[in-house]
Amino acid sequence: MLLEVRDVAKEYRIPGQRAIRVLDGVSLDVAEGEHVAIVGRSGAGKTTLLNIIGGLDLPTAGDVKIGGESLFAGKGAARRRERLRAAKIGFIFQSYHLMPELDVVENVMLPAMTGETRIPAPRERAKALLEKVGLAARLGHLPAELSGGEQQRVALARALMCRPQLILADEPTGNLDALTGAEILKLLFEVNDEPIACVMVTHSAEAAARCDRTFALDSGRLA
């Protein structure tokens, strides 16, 4: 199993107030190449769950394994988390999260610059990925010079830069019109030669329908 989420709970404790339990025992398995959609109302904890799966946030209880390796349990978990995140996971966010002062090619190369991953000829790979997402003519441009859909294409290329086994996408079409969103989804599912697993938070029924399985996050649990 590529991704194993086991009994993950998350509480926010603010001194003097009752703890807020956002996740209350979430378990999920995702196989290699499988696409899973997560839906749920605003505030249900979808982003929190995705951030924990990606090792960007810590659970209050439970664990996540990527390729059998634990993100949170045991000695050296922080170090292991960093390595797994860089080597195995690509992230896509609703608001793109591109670096405004870097051009398109530099933004795509960024995940290969951490020292956690060895990508030969990163600039050439970045350019090839940008070509695949239809941005060959925009290589030297800054994010601010691109439309939302084009910025999300850059973010998709960046997510693919280090050949991840898992893509985590948080409402990737949430800021885009229906047609542009559909183009991004098509790319997300078809741009890779070999299938990459994906966990996608989405409000789009069309996006969910393209996935192998859909879960609803409600009252801190997946159903």
Ligand X SMILES: Nc1ncnc2c1ncn2[C@@H]1O[C@H](COP(=O)(O)OP(=O)(O)O)[C@@H](O)[C@H]1O
Residues that bind ligand X (CB under 6 A): 12, 20, 22, 40, 42-48
Minimum gap (Å) between residue 223 Cβ and ligand X: 15
* Cα 90–Cα 12–Cα 98 angle in degrees, nearest 5: 30
- Please report how close the Cβ of residue 19 comes to ligand X at its closest, in angstroms: 10
Q: Which of ligand X, Mg ion, none does 136 bind, CB closer than 5 to 8 A by kind?
A: none
CB of 212 to ligand X, least distance (A): 21
Shortest CB 178 distance to ligand X, Å: 21
Nearer Cβ to ligand X (144/223): 223
47 binding Mg ion? (CB under 5 A): yes
Which CB, 12 or 186, lies closer to ligand X?
12
| Integer Cα distance of 204 and 193 in angstroms | 25
Q: Considering the complex, state which of residue 42 and residue 137 has its C-beta at the smaller distance from ligand X.
A: 42
Ranges assigned E (strand) in the chain: 3-12, 20-30, 35-39, 61-66, 69-70, 89-93, 166-170, 197-201, 213-218, 221-222
Taking the C-alpha atoms of residue 47 and residue 29, their distance in angstroms, rounded to an integer, is 18
Considering beta carbons, is residue 41 or 186 the nearer one to Mg ion? 41
The interface partner of residue 54, options being Mg ion, ligand X, none and the CB cut-off 5 to 8 Å by kind, is none
Instruction: Name beta bridge partners: 200.
Output: 37, 169
Torsion on CA atoms 169, 175, 180, 184, rounded to nearest 10 = -10
Beta-sheet pairing, 35-39 with 213-218: parallel
Residue numbers of the site for Mg ion (CB under 5 A)?
A: 47
